[in-house]
Amino acid sequence: MRQKESQRHRIRSLHIPMHAVLVAISVVMVFPFVWMLLTSLKTVTESTRMNPFSFFPQASQWVNYATVWQQNDFLQLYLNTFAMVILRVVCALLFSAMAAYAFARLHFPGKGFFFGLVLVQMMVPTQVFVIPQYLMIDGMGLRNTVFALVFPGLVSAFGTFLLRQFFMGLPRELEESARLDGCNIGQTFVRVMLPLTHSGLTALAVFTALFAFKDLIWPLVVNTNTDAATLSSALSKIGSSYSVNYPNLMAASVLAVVPMLLLYMVFQRQFIEGIATSGGKL
Amino acid sequence: MRLNLGAASAARERVSAATRNEWYWAWGMIAPTIIGLVVLNIVPIFQTMYMSFFKSGAFGKGNTYIGLENYRRLLADAQVLYATRNTLVYMVCVVLITTVLALLLAVALGGRIKGKGTYRTIYFIPMVATPAAVTLIWRWLYNYRFGLLNHMLSSLGITPVDWIDNPNAAMLSIAMVGIWSTVGYSMVLLIAGLQEIPRDYYEAAQIDGAKPVRQFLHITLPLVSPTLFFVLVTSVIAAMQVFDIVYMMIGVTSPSYDATVSLVYLFYNNSFKYSNKGYGSAIIMILLAMILLITAVQQRLQKKWVNYM
C-alpha cells in the first residue's frame, strides 16, 4: 500500500518537468503561425529591420490583406478550393459507400478481382497517375476548370477500403431483419446500414477534405491559369512574385491557412477521431 | 459452342433468382468505383510504363519510340542519383525522428496527465495547414538576413546559418519542416493504438514493482507494435513522395537544388517544366519500384516483430 502511494507520488512529481517539455513543444508548434500573423501586419521596412528588432507590429497594416486580396483575387481562389473539396468529399462518400457495402456484404462473381483493383490503386504512388490524368483532361479540353481539380478524386480506393472495414464490423442480424421486412438490397443499404457507419463516413469526409485541400502537384499541373488555381497552387506563384515583400507573403499565407484552421477549431473532435479511426481501420 | 451455351444456361437456371438479383445489385454498386479506378488509375499505370519508352516533345506531340534509352539516360544522369539519395535521406531522417518523437508524446499524453486533450489539439495544428503556406512561413523564419532564427542565433553570439541556400544545411531545414508538420499526425494514430492496451496489464506490472521504463519496454512497445508498424509504413510511403516542401523552399536555380531535389520534384520538372513526359515517366517508375520494394520488405519484417494480440 505504502509502495503504491510512493509510486503515485513519484509519478506526480514527474508531471512538472513533463509539462515544461510539453509546453515548450506547444510553443514550437504554434509559434510559426503567430509569427506569420505578426509579420503580415508589419510594413516591409519594419519586417526587415534588425536594429532595433521589432517583434510586434507598431501599427497593424491591415492594408496588406487588402492588397494581397485584390492582386490575387482570393474570392475566386476560395470558390475554386471549396468547390473542389466539397465535390471530392461528395464523390468519395457516395461511390465508396456503395462499393464498400457490396464488397463487405454481398456475394458476386469477380469480387476478389475487383477488390484487387482497389488494393493496387492504394499501393501505387499517386504521381504515377499524374501524366495520363493530365493528358485525359487536356484531351477533353477541360484544363483550368473545377472539374479538372476534382477529376483524380472522382472515386476513392482508400474510401472503399476504409468503409468496407466499417461495414464488416456491423452485425448481420440487422440486415436479415430488414430483408424479412421486405426491404430490397438498396433499401437495406440506405436505410439500415448507411446510418450505422456514421463515424466511418465522418472519418472519410475529414480525411478527403484535408488531403484535397493540401494537394499541390495536381492543381499546379492541370490549372495553370491564375483564376482557376486553388489556395495551395496560387501560393506557389505568390511566393515568387512577392519574393522580398514578406508582410504580403504572410498575409497571403494567413488567408490560405485560415479556412481549414477555423474548421479544425470547430470540429476538433471529428478531425482527430476521423484521422485516428481512418488509420486504425486500415 | 452450342454445348457451352447450353451449359451456361443450365448453370444460370441453377442460380436462383434471388442470387442473381444480389449479383446485379453488387455489380451496380461497385460500377462507379471500378470504372473510375480503371480509367483513372489502372490504365494510367500501364500508360506511364509505356510512355517511359518514348521521347516526347512539347505538348505531347511528336512522340518517338526510343526503347530503353530513357532508362539508359537515367543511369547516367547525376540529378537522378542526387534525387534518389535526397529522397532516401529525407525519408530516413523524417520517419525516424517523427516516429520516435510521436511515440514519446503519445505515451506522455496517454497517461493521466492534465490538459492532454489541449496538447493533442495543439500538436495536430500543423497538419491542417496547407504545406504551401507552411513552407512559406518557414522560408521566412529561415531567411538568411531578416529571418527570426538567425536573429536569435546572432543575439546569442552564434554565426547565422544560411538555412536555405547553403547546400549542407538545406536538407536539414527541409526535414525539420517535414517533422514539424507530421509529428502530430503520427502521434494521434499512436494514441489511438495505446488506448487499445488493457489497463490491467499496467496495474499488474505496478504490483510487481516494474518501473515506468520497464513497463514501456515490456508492455507498451510490444502491444502498440501493430499501430507503430502502420505508422511506419504510411510515413515511409508519404515521405518518399515528398514534393511540396522542397518545391516551395528550393528554386531550380538555388545552389541547394542538387542537395535537396526529390524524385517527385525531378519528375515534375522533367514532365511539366521541360515537357519531356517520357523521361518524367521513367523517373516516376524508379519511385514506384522503390515503394513496392519497401512495401515488400516491410511485410516481411512485420511477421518478425509485430505482435498481434
Same structural domain, A172 and A194:
yes
Tell me which residue of A195, A116, A113 sits closest to A161, measured CA to CA: A116
Task: Grade residue B264 by pLDDT with cuts at 50, 70 and 90.
Answer: very high
CB contacts, 8 Å: A237 with chain B? none
Look up the CATH number of the domain holding residue A234: 1.10.3720.10
Res. A3: pLDDT tops 80: no
Residues 18-77 of A with CB under 8 A from B: 18-19, 21-22, 25-26, 28-30, 32-33, 35-36, 39, 47-48, 50, 53
Last residue of a domain, one of A30, A63, A96: A63
Residue B304 is predicted with a pLDDT of 76
Q: State the residue range of the domain holding A180.
A: 71-280
**Are A137 and A275 members of one domain?**
yes
What's the half-sphere exposure (Cβ side, CA atoms, 13 Å) at A194?
14
Q: What is the pTM of this model?
A: 0.90
Same domain, residue pair A88 and A207: yes
**What integer is the mean pLDDT of B274-290?**
93
Q: Is there a single domain that holds both residue A96 and residue A234?
A: yes
- Pick the residue of A46, A95, A207, A248 with the most B CBs within 10 A to test the interface with B by mutation: A95
A21 and A125 belong to one structural domain:
no
Cell numbers representing residue A209 in the block? 477534405
* CB of B193 less than 8 A from some CB of A: yes
Residues A181 and A42 in one domain: no
β-sheet bridge partners, residue A53 = A50
- Whether B61 has a pLDDT exceeding 80, the answer reads no
Question: Does A271 lie in the same domain as A238?
Answer: yes
- pLDDT of amino acid B1: 42
Contacts with A, B 290-309, CB within 8 Å: 291-292, 295
Instruction: Tell me if A107 and B234 make a contact (CB, 8 A cut-off).
Output: no
- Both A59 and A117 in a single domain? no
Q: Does B178 touch chain A (CB under 8 A)?
A: no
Preceding amide of B212 cis, omega within 30: no
Tell me how many degrees the CA angle B70-B76-B79 measures, rounded to the nearest 5: 95
Q: What is the mean pLDDT of residues A171-180?
A: 87
Domain end call among A17, A37, A63: A63
Helices A246-266/A63-72 angle, 10° precision: 90
Number of structural domains found in chain A: 2
Q: Is B104 near chain A, with CB under 8 Å? A: no
SS3 B175: helix
Distance CA B185, CA A128 (A): 25
Q: Do A47 and B288 touch (CB under 8 A)?
A: no
Q: What pLDDT does B31 receive?
A: 97
Q: How far apart are the CA of B32 and the nearest CA of chain A, in angstroms?
A: 6
What pLDDT, on a 0 to 100 scale, did the predictor assign at position B14?
A: 66
Q: Are A83 and A146 in contact (CB under 8 A)?
A: yes
**The pLDDT of residue A280:** 65
Co-location of A233 and A269 in the same domain: yes
Q: Is beta strand B64-65 parallel, antiparallel or unpaired with respect to B54-55?
A: antiparallel
Q: How many whole angstroms separate alpha carbon A273 and alpha carbon A268?
A: 8
Between B41, B119, B241, which is nearest A121 by CB? B41
Distance CA B59, CA B182 (A): 37
A233 to chain B, any CB pair closer than 8 A? The answer is yes
Strands (E), chain B: 54-55, 64-65
Determine, for residues B60 and A138 on separate chains, whether the beta-carbon distance falls below 8 Å: yes
Last residue of a domain, one of A63, A93, A115: A63
By 3-state DSSP, what share of chain A in percent is helix, strand and coil, each rounded to 5? 80, 0, 20
If asked whether residues A134 and A237 sit together in one domain, one would say yes
Statement to judge: residues A152 and A43 lie in one domain: no
A147 and A238 within one domain: yes
pLDDT in tens, A217-248: 999 999 999 899 999 999 988 887 777 799 99
CB contact under 8 A, B227 and A135: no
Contacts 24+ apart (CB under 8 A), A110-115: A110/B27, A111/B26, A114/B30, A114/B34
